[in-house]
Amino acid sequence: GAVVSQHPSRVICKSGTSVKIECRSLDFQATTMFWYRQFPKKSLMLMATSNEGSKATYEQGVEKDKFLINHASLTLSTLTVTSAHPEDSSFYICSATRTSTDTQYFGPGTRLTVL
């Protein structure tokens, strides 16, 4: 149990377009989902925390208008990178928890390349 999926696994887009990444908890209800960005040779950086039915909480330095997060149901959260630029190219990873004190279960990640 506790499987988290992400879609797509890879996406290539042109500069200026928007890209939506989905994160789904397949076999449990996730009250909280997290979005991370992983830079090459660097750690995972938490971008935002989203609770079902409420607005996401963004970490300092993360532009909420650029990285739109929607946690519309207990099994789905989406991250939309708006007006993407080459510097947004990265590996985006989501995680989900049943409760705030539960283990985080991570998705396989989405590699975004902006040309």
Partner 1 sequence: GDSVTQMEGPVTLSEEAFLTINCTYTATGYPSLFWYVQYPGEGLQLLLKATKADDKGSNKGFEATYRKETTSFHLEKGSVQVSDSAVYFCALSGRGDDKIIFGKGTRLHILP
Least separation in angstroms between CB 63 and partner 1:
19
Binding-residue pattern over the window 56 to 95 for partner 1, x denoting contact by CB under 8 A:
-------------------------------------x-x
Tell how many helices (H) and how many strands (E) occur in the chain: 0, 11
* End-to-end CA separation in angstroms for the chain: 37
The answer to whether 74 touches 17, Cβ cutoff 8 Å, is no
Position among 15, 17, 18, 103 found at the interface with partner 1 (CB under 8 A):
103
When asked if residue 49 is in the footprint of partner 1 (CB under 8 A), the reply is yes
Position among 43, 65, 86, 87 found at the interface with partner 1 (CB under 8 A):
43
Cis amide bond preceding 86, omega within 30:
no
